């Protein structure tokens, strides 16, 4: 099992409709290729974790990286993992638009996904 975590910036504003369209397609494609993960959007910034077989993850990341709707993709972390962290989700999604990165309420309601992503992110800050 392999994971890849990256960040990127939307080139233009994603409406709720744009995000829904993206997610419907992502979830269908990811189910077909056995990819799971989480996508977080906040004010035009994306953080996404992809997990699955190494070849499938790298192939999907190549497709996503080439997507002209965003740019500035930076891989924060990638490599083998013992097991999936998002086994139930073809692509879990959070859309945050508040001033704080995460409010205490969001953190307590969503410990699993948010903390996993932030933990991976913080590892890269050493």
3 makes contact with ligand FAD (CB under 6 A): no
Question: What does the alpha-carbon distance between residue 55 and residue 15 come to, in Å, rounded to a whole number?
Answer: 31
* # of chain residues touching ligand FAD (CB under 6 A): 17
Looking at the Cβ atoms of 29 and 95, the one nearer to ligand FAD is 29
Instruction: Report how far residue 101's alpha carbon sits from residue 60's, in angstroms, rounded to the nearest whole number.
Output: 27
The minimum distance between CB 64 and ligand FAD, in angstroms, equals 4
DSSP E strand boundaries for the chain: 2-10, 36-42, 45-52, 70-80, 92-96
Q: Looking at 9, 20, 24, 25, which residue binds ligand FAD (CB under 6 A)?
A: 25
- Among 5, 39, 57, 117, interactor with ligand FAD by CB under 6 A: 39
The residue (of 65 and 108) whose beta carbon lies closer to ligand FAD is: 65
Asked if 38 interacts with ligand FAD (CB under 6 A), we say no
Q: Is 68 helix (H, G, I), strand (E, B) or coil?
A: coil
Q: What is d(CA 69, CA 66) in angstroms, rounded to the nearest whole number?
A: 9
- Our CA angle for 26, 18, 7, nearest 5°, is 60
Residue ranges in contact with ligand FAD by CB under 6 A: 8, 21-22, 25-26, 29-30, 39, 46, 48, 60, 63-64, 67, 69-70, 91
């Amino acid at each position: 099992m392999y994971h890849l975590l990256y960040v990127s910036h939307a080139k233009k504003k994603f409406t709720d409709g744009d995000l829904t369209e993206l997610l419907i397609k992502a979830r269908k494609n990811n189910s077909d290729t056995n990819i799971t993960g989480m996508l977080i959007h906040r004010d035009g910034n994306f953080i996404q974790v992809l997990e699955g077989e190494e070849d499938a993850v790298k192939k999907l990341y190549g497709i996503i990286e080439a997507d002209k709707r965003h740019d500035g993709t930076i891989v924060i972390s990638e490599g083998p993992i013992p097991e999936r962290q998002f086994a139930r989700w073809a692509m879990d999604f959070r859309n945050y638009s508040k001033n704080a990165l995460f409010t205490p309420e969001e953190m307590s309601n969503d410990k699993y996904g948010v903390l996993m992503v932030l933990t991976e992110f913080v590892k890269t800050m050493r």
